[in-house]
Amino acid sequence: MIKKEEAQKNEKQNYYFIGVVLFKNNCKIFLSRFLLLNNSNNILIMDFFTHSVFGALLYILFLKDVTFEYFFIAIFFSFLPDLDIFLFPLKRIFKSNYLDHRGGSHSYIVGIIISVILSIFFSIFRNKSFFMSWIIGSMFYGLHVSMDLLTTTRIPYLYPLSKKESSFYVEKAGSSFTFLNSLLFLIILLIMYYNSADLFLFLNVINFYTYFFLIYYLYRILTKVWINRHIADNQKYFPGVLPFYFTVFEQDITPEALSLCIEKKSHFSTSKVIYKNQSELGLEEMKLFKKATEMCNEHYYYAKWTVLPIFLRNNDIFSVRFFFLETMVHGRTHYIQYNFDMLTQHYIDSNQGYGHIIS
């Protein structure tokens, strides 16, 4: 009963967390007031900027010789999955996690179905070919899902046929690197437009950025594959903000202790240990740690991510603080802390925050 009440208490905080944490670390905090959901404390950001730019570039690369008639339809489908943030009222009614952000909407199957429905609308009211609208819609909706599959947040990419969630850990979610490069690309185009640049120059800039992004993602994928072939079973790869950096998380768990280490690595410099610690736990503390882990996994978003636990002891209060590694930038990340009474072994409360990983 206590856990259920605490879950309801933290539900609204989760939506603030999703919107702020992914982008606060990635130089996009100024967007955090872009959209208000339910009330002023429920803030969620639509990260459609990079998806729109990448969708436009790929359309120009592969379909410009076919037709430009469906260009804006392609861009619309490129960011459409992230409009699932408007499903929040339905989530509160039906109590389904698949109505959450990066839930059921981020699925190839759902994309095909939605493309059919919207293509009927386009064919009736916009005089567009149903078949072309459906094919392009499915392709660019699928492009969005594929790009999100490359990030560090799992998505149910075959929902409703399968509820399995996956991610390939190639790129950080809400990457500031791709965001800033997309922004720079648009600024360059605007400068060229206002200075009446030649069409030839426009096309060269567009082609440069198109191949830049393709090479960038290919490099990220190859790096992930290469590193995964050379790390141990108890280690996990995390992409860095910049393409040449990454971190490796190592953990060893025994019945009495936890040994944890985070190491920042680069292809061109020496490694740097961000965090290293070994915690010894008593029998009762280990039970509370397992209970805190179960509570953390009850949250839809928290269960998607990798946690680094630290243990705090203050008189008769035993606290388990979980830092989420997928959102870590410069040793800072979001965390949730569960507090227990050591005498009664009862759960007291929980709190969330953002800060440096501490021992």
* DSSP line for 194-258: HTT--HHHHHHHHHHHHHHHHHHHHHHHHHHHHHHTSS-TTEEEEE-SSTTEEEEEEEEE-SSEE
Domain check: are 308 and 252 in the same one? yes
pLDDT in tens, 308-343: 999 999 889 999 999 999 888 888 899 999 999 999
Q: How far is CA 27 from the centre of its chain?
A: 15
* Same-domain pairing of 215 and 272: no
Backbone CA torsion sign across 179, 222, 303, 80: positive
Percent of the chain having pLDDT more than 70? Answer: 87
Domain contains 169 = yes
150, 133, 135, 129: which is closest to 54 by C-alpha?
Answer: 150
CB atoms within 10 A of CB 169: 22
Give pTM, 2 decimals. 0.81
**Residue 52 and residue 180 in one domain:** yes
Boundaries of domain holding 147: 46-226
Query: Higher confidence at residue 176 or residue 191?
Result: 191
For residue 13, being part of any structural domain is answered with no
As to burial, measured by CB atoms within 10 angstroms (0-12 exposed, 13-18 middle, 19+ buried), residue 172 is buried
Q: What is the pLDDT of residue 40?
A: 29
Question: Is 6 within a domain?
Answer: no
- The answer to whether 354 touches 334, Cβ cutoff 8 Å, is yes
Domain final position from 166, 197, 226: 226
Residue 8 lies in a domain: no
- Report the C-alpha gap between 304 and 325 in whole angstroms: 11
Using CA atoms, how far apart are residues 112 and 122, in angstroms rounded to an integer?
15
pLDDT tens per residue across span 260-316: 999 999 888 888 998 999 988 888 999 999 999 999 999 888 888 999 999 999 889
Asked whether residue 213 falls in the same domain as residue 282, the answer is no
Q: Based on the domain organization, do 269 and 342 belong to the same domain?
A: yes
Crossing angle of helices 176-194/49-63, nearest 10°? 60
Are 97 and 195 part of one and the same domain? yes
- Total structural domains in the chain? 2
206-216 confidence digits (pLDDT tens): 999 999 999 99
pLDDT at site 22: 39
Domain boundary among 226, 244, 265: 226
In the block, tokens 């819609």 appear at 137
**Closest Cα partner for 88 from 99, 74, 80, 76?**
99
**Do residues 147 and 296 both lie within one domain?**
no
Confidence class for position 5, pLDDT limits 50, 70, 90:
low
Whether residue 289 sits in one domain with residue 183:
no
Q: Which has more confidence, 231 or 10?
A: 231
Q: Which pLDDT value is given to residue 31?
A: 34
pLDDT in tens, 109-156: 999 999 999 999 999 988 888 999 999 999 999 999 999 999 988 999
DSSP string, 49-89: HHHHHHHHHHHHHHHTTT-STTHHHHHHHHHGGGGGGGGHH
Residues 131 and 256 both lie in one domain = no
The verdict on 54 and 185 lying in the same domain is yes
Pick from 226, 253, 283: which residue ends a domain? 226
Residue pair 350/339 in contact (Cβ under 8 Å)? The answer is yes
Is 71 a domain residue?
Answer: yes
Q: Could you tell me which residues are beta bridge partners of residue 276? A: 261
Question: Does 33 reside within a domain?
Answer: no
Distance CA 108, CA 141 (A): 8
Would 257 be classed as within a structural domain? yes
32 lies in some domain = no
Task: Report pLDDT for 125.
Answer: 87
Are 107 and 202 members of one domain?
A: yes
Q: Is the pLDDT of residue 15 over 50?
A: no
Average pLDDT over residues 40-58: 66
- Residue 198 sits in the same domain as residue 241: no
